[in-house]
């Protein structure tokens, strides 16, 4: 009877340790598996010939739908940085201001679920 009880106890301990290790590993992987997900729900452009030879104003709504905070650091047009088009960033663009973008100089921070509007 003693060897049977010892085997049952040994198997129970092994199962308990393996379950504990599985929960521990799932907790570790959950910390490192977060991701950023940026969506553009709306984007449109309007023609405005009165703003320093600028003919178009692009308005983009940006939403962070991922679980982690995100930081946008630059604006690209046609796969090129806005600097290539002599367009400056730094939050200078308003409805009546010069050519530029409304992106802050240190980037745009979006918390999870947050939505911002960017003008180019």
Collapsing DSSP to helix, strand or coil, 14 comes out as helix
Confidence of residue 120 (pLDDT cuts 50, 70, 90): confident
User: How far is CA 36 from each of CA 13, 24, 116, rounded to the nearest angstrom?
Assistant: 40, 24, 15
User: In terms of pLDDT, which residue wins out, 52 or 76?
Assistant: 76
Cβ atoms < 10 Å from Cβ of 58: 14
Comparison of pLDDT for 19 and 53, the residue scoring more: 19
CA dihedral 85, 88, 93, 99 (to 10 degrees): -40
């Amino acid at each position: 009877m003693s060897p049977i009880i010892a085997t049952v106890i040994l198997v129970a301990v092994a199962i308990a340790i393996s379950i504990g290790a599985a929960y521990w590993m799932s907790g570790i992987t959950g910390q490192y598996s977060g991701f950023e997900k940026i969506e553009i729900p709306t984007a449109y452009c309007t023609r405005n010939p009165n703003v320093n030879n600028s003919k178009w104003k692009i308005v983009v709504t940006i939403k962070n739908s991922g679980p982690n905070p995100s930081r946008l650091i630059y604006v690209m047009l046609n796969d090129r940085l806005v600097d290539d088009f002599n367009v400056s960033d730094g939050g200078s663009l308003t409805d009546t201001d010069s050519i530029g973008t409304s992106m802050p100089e240190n980037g745009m921070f979006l918390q999870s679920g947050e939505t911002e509007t960017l003008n180019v």
